[in-house]
Every structure is written in structure tokens, then in C-alpha cells.
Amino acid sequence: MSATVTTPRHPSTHTSLRRHVRRATGRDHSPLCRPLDRAYSRLVAGLALAMLATLVVAAAAALLVYRAETHTAQQAARHRHTVTAVTTGPAGSADPRAGGVREYAPARWTYPVGPGTGIVPVPDGTLAGTAVRVGLNDAGDPVRAPKPVDLVVTDAVLVGFGTVTVLGFGAEGVFALRRHALERRAEKGWEAAWEQVEPRWSGRR
């Protein structure tokens, strides 16, 4: 009976993952291993599997984003044609698409489908009458350059990191709640066992 009382109130948090796996799979036959300890080991093993699955899902999500954005950039590049345009006015940031990053200027150009005009991005300080390179689609309309590889990689990494963060915190939260419930159960079991043993141990009637 004394062994029952002297066992720890709470499941051990210093047990190795390997032993947790042995307990979770029922291969730990130690007489000191309580059902509560096995339940805690199953919880730890479940968290380890959840974290591994999180890494796999995050890697898959990052790869999907990388492939999708790479395909989009390749498709855009196939239908983008660079021509020389001539600005018809000075550069400025009046166009709302500028966003304070680049300046824009009105320009005209010649394309197989006919001459065209529009607002195009230009280097800061570009003057009227300056020749600039402009990307056009098959219809002769200005289009942005495809997303560069470094930005595609950055997007994929951010998606992977975000997936790990969200799923990882979720798994940790579930683990913390379940561990708290097991600790409360252990506390109640320890107190009940002590109430039975303490009178005989102390000689109190």
C-alpha cells in the first residue's frame, strides 16, 4: 500500500520520448507504471506525432505555393512582350498604382496590334521624351513583370512558417488542456489513496 502513496502525484515530465512510446504502446511492464502514466505517455506520443504531421503539412503547403506561383509566373512570362516606349510626360506618383514605391509616366508605343498609350512604371525622375522598356501582353496592354523567384520563395517560406505556427500552437494547446486534466485526475487519486493509508500509517483511528 505504501508504494501507492509514494508514487508521484503527477505524471513525470522527465521521461524520455522513447519510454513514452513504450508506455503508449503497452510495452512498459513496470509495476510502478500506472494507467495514468500510460495515458500521459499516449498524450506525449500524440503530441510528437502531431508535430511531425505539422511539419509534413507545412512542407506540402509551401511546396504547393511555390509550384503554383512559379507556374503563374511562367505563364505570365510566355505572354509578356517587352517593347520600347517613349514617355509623353514627366514621371510622377499621381497614379494610385504607384503606392509610393515607383513613379509612373504617360507613354506611347508601337506594337504589332497597333500603337498604344498608357501609364507605365518608370525610374524616378524620368523626363518626357525618354525611351523606356515596357512589358505588354498579347493584346498590347501594359502588364507587370512576373513575380521574381526570390519573392516566390519568400511566399512559400511564409506559408510554411505560418502553417507550422498555427497547427503547432493548436497542438500545444490541446496537449496543455489534456495534461491539466490528467494532473487533476492524478491529484484526486493520490488524495483518495492517502485517505485510506494515512490512518494505518500514522496509527490514528
Q: What is the pLDDT of residues 98-141, one digit of tens each?
A: 444 468 899 999 988 888 999 998 888 889 999 999 999 998 88
* 3-class DSSP assignment, residue 1: coil
- pLDDT for residue 192: 52
Q: Does the CA dihedral 121-122-126-132 come out positive or negative?
A: negative
- Residue 85 β-bridge partners: 109, 132
* Positions in the chain short of pLDDT 70: 1-17, 19-20, 23-24, 26-34, 36, 93-102, 186-205
**pLDDT number for residue 8:** 47
Using alpha carbons, list the distances in angstroms from residue 150 to 36, 69, 70, 71, 154. Answer: 50, 11, 11, 14, 6
Q: How many CB atoms lie within 10 A of CB 110?
A: 13
* pLDDT for the residue numbered 125: 84
Strand ordering across the sheet containing 114-122 = 114-122, 103-111, 81-87, 131-136
